Chains A and B, each alone.
Chain A
C-alpha cells in the first residue's frame, strides 16, 4: 500500500484521553472482522522469528558500588552560523576590528566553522586569504563578480595552526633550536593567494574606481551617522 503522508486517526479525540468511538465501534472501523474472515475466523498469527544463536555473555567481573548514570544521548550536529542575507559571495565587506580594520575586502565563502573566508585581494590592499567573523564586519551592497574563483580547497584546516613537532629537550641547544623560522609563509599559500586573486582582480578592474575603492580604508567622517548611512 502506498504510504500516507499524514497520519489521520480513525478515532478523533473528544478530550485528550477519550476517543469518539468505543472499543467495539473501533473494532468495526478498523475492519478487524474482515481480517478475521479472510483468515478463517482467527486473527492472523505469525510465528516469532527465531533469534540467531548468540554466544552467552559472561557475567561482568566488576559492578560499580553505586549505580552509574548513563548520560542522555545527544544527536545534535552544530550548524555553521546563519549568514546574514546581505552577505553573498562577492560582497564587499568592511572589516571593523583587528589589524585590517577599516579595510574593504571581498567575501568568498562561508567556511564550515561559520567564519567568513575573505581576500583583499592581496595586491590591492594587503589583506591575504583570511578568516573573519561575521559579527565584526559591515556588509556593503557592492558586489564583485566572483565566478572565476575556485575556493574549494580552502577550508578551516587550511587556516588552522600547524601541529608543532615534538622538540627534544637538549639543554645546550634549547635556545638555538627555538630560533627556527616559524614565521615564513609557505610558498604553497602564496601560490594559492595568487591563484584566487588573479581572476578576482580582472573582474575588479572591469568596474571603474572599484580598485581604488578597495585600496582605500573606510573611516567615519564628521557628520556621518552610522545608523542613517546606507552601506
Chain B
C-alpha cells in the first residue's frame, strides 16, 4: 500500500484543526519537517503544522511561494473548488453542513419526504416480489 497523496508544492489540503477548520488551502512551501507554508485566496499566508492538514487528491501547478494573484489564477484554472465539490469527500462535507443548518420545520419536511420515499420503494419492492413469485 504505497502513499498516493504527497506533500508537495501545489497540494490542496483541508485544515482539520484550529481557527481555520474546514478551509481548503494550498501548500506553497515546506518550512521544515513538521510545518508548511500554506495559502488560500481569502486568507493571509501562514505556516501550519502538517498534523493540522488533511491532504486531498487535488494538486495545482504553481511555483514555490507564488504571488497571491498567481495563486488565485492557478486555482481557478485548475478549478479546485469545482473538483472539490464533485469529489465524494467534498460532497459529504457539504451534506453534513446542510444537515447541521436545518431548521425544525426543515427537519419535519425531511421526515415527511423520507416516509414518502420509503413508501414508494416498498410499493416497487412489493410489485417486484409479486412478479418473482408469480413467474
Question: Interface on A for B, CB 8 Å cutoff?
Answer: 92, 94, 104, 140-142, 209-210, 212-213, 216, 218, 228-231
Contact = CB atoms under 8 A, between A and B. Distances in A.
Q: How large is the interface on B (under 10, 10 to 19, 20 to 34, 35 or more residues)?
A: under 10
> Which of B100, B104, B112 has the most chain A CB atoms inside 10 A of its CB?
B104
A140 B102 contact: no
B103 A231 contact: yes
A140 B104 contact: yes
A231 B105 CA distance: 8
Given A141-B104, A228-B100, A230-B101, 18 more contacts: A104-B104, A140-B104, A141-B103, A142-B103, A142-B105, A209-B105, A209-B112, A212-B108, A212-B112, A213-B105, A213-B109, A216-B108, A218-B104, A229-B104, A230-B100, A230-B102, A230-B104, A231-B104
29 contacts: A92-B104, A92-B105, A94-B104, A104-B104, A140-B103, A140-B104, A140-B105, A141-B103, A141-B104, A142-B103, A142-B104, A142-B105, A209-B105, A209-B108, A209-B109, A212-B108, A212-B112, A213-B105, A213-B108, A213-B109, A216-B108, A218-B104, A228-B100, A230-B100, A230-B101, A230-B102, A230-B103, A231-B103, A231-B104
